[in-house]
Amino acid sequence: MGAFKSITCGGNGGSAFATTTVGEFKMYSGSEVDSIYLNGEKHGGDGGGYNGTFLLQKNNDYIIRADVYYGENDEVHHLHFWNNRGEDIGGGHFYGTYKSIDNIRLVTIGGRSGRLLDQIQITYVENYVPSTLVDNHAVFIVKWYGPNTQITNYTSQSAMMENSYQLVTSTMSSSTISSSAEAEYGAQVSVATSQQFTDSTVETIANSLKVTLETQQTTILKVNDDEVGIMLVEGTIMRADDGKYWMFPNSGNNFAVIKKDDWRNMLNTYDLTGDLYKQMGQLADHKTTKNDYVFYSEETN
C-alpha cells in the first residue's frame, strides 16, 4: 500500500508545535504568514489580517492543494490552501522558494512558530482518490464473549463511540489499506470522537483510543453458561481506490447477551471477528464472504 508523503517548508526559528490532524484551519497574514490556527490553537504572532477559515471536520471537507513560498532559513512568506469544494485561503507575498502539491488529501500539519509562522510541515496522500459508498446501514459484530465471562461496558455515549472505533481500527493494518482510504478513515475517527491525532495511520489511532479509554467509567455485564455476549455496531462500508473494502462505525457499540440457540438473530450481519460461528455452530452453514468481510447470510451454504 502507498505511504503518506510530507514536505517541510521554512526555517528553524521559533519553537516547534505538535503535528496534528486538522479539523479546523484559520490563517492571518500580511507581508509574511503571521499565524495559523489548527483546531483553535494559534501558531505564530498577533499581526496580519484575517484570510479565512476552513471548517474541515464539521463539513467533512479536506484540503486538495497547497502552495508555499518560503525562505530556506527564515519564515513562510506565502501560504495558500484549496479544499474539495473549490474554496481557498491564502495570504503573504510571493517570494522565496516555491513549492506546490496538488491532487492530494492533506492529512496533518506541524511546524515551527514564534512572532511569525517559521516553518510548516505538511503530510498528505499523493494522487488521492475518494472511496465510494457501498452500504451505510450495515450491522457488524465487532467482538464477542463466550459463556461464563464478563463484559466490560462503557457508560458514556462518547466512550462507547471511542470503543467502537478502537475495536474496528484494531482489525485494520496500514499494510492492507490504501493511503487514500487510511486518510479518509482517520478523518471519520476525528469527526466521530472529536479527537485529533499526530498522524492518520490506523496503528496510531488504535493506540490513542486505547489510552483514552483507560480513564473512562465502565460497568460489568455477566454472560451465563448458555449465552454469548456480542458487541454490535451499525457501520458504513466503502470501496477504496484499489477496489478493497473498508468500514467505519456510525454509532457507539451496542451489547447484546443472547442465548446460543438464538443464532438466527445474527443473520444478515457482518463479522469483523470472523469466528462467531465457533460459538454458535449453526452459523457455520450460513457463513459466506460479502464485500471482503465474513457475512452470515439467510441462505445456507
d(CA 204, CA 170): 10
In this predicted model, what pLDDT tens digit does every residue of 257-276 receive, in sequence order? 999 999 999 999 999 999 99
In this predicted model, what pLDDT tens digit does every residue of 199-256 receive, in sequence order? 778 889 999 999 999 999 999 989 999 999 999 999 999 999 999 999 999 988 888 8
Give the DSSP H/E element, type plus range, for residue 227.
Answer: strand 227-239
d(CA 82, CA 73): 26
At which residue does the C-alpha cell 517548508 appear?
9
Q: What local confidence, expressed as pLDDT, does residue 1 receive?
A: 44
Task: State the amino acid at position 121 in one-letter form.
Answer: Q
Task: Quote the Cα angle for 62-67-70, to 5°.
Answer: 135
Q: Which domains does the chain have, with CATH numbers?
A: 5-126 (2.100.10.30), 132-296 (no CATH)
Cβ–Cβ under 8 Å, residues 246 and 173: no
d(CA 39, CA 58): 11
d(CA 225, CA 228): 8
Other C-beta atoms closer than 10 Å to the C-beta of 72 total: 9
The predicted model scores a pTM of: 0.85
Cβ–Cβ under 8 Å, residues 48 and 91: yes
In this predicted model, what pLDDT tens digit does every residue of 41-65 receive, in sequence order? 999 999 999 999 999 977 779 999 9
Band of residue 196 on the pLDDT scale cut at 50, 70, 90: confident
DSSP-derived secondary structure letter, 201: -
Give the DSSP H/E element, type plus range, for residue 181.
Answer: helix 179-193
Band of residue 144 on the pLDDT scale cut at 50, 70, 90: very high
d(CA 40, CA 238): 31
Cβ–Cβ under 8 Å, residues 201 and 21: no
* Residue 286 Cα to chain centre, angstroms: 32
Averaged pLDDT score across all residues of the chain = 93
Mean pLDDT, residues 134-148 = 95
User: Three-class SS of residue 118?
Assistant: strand
Q: What local confidence, expressed as pLDDT, does residue 83 receive?
A: 96
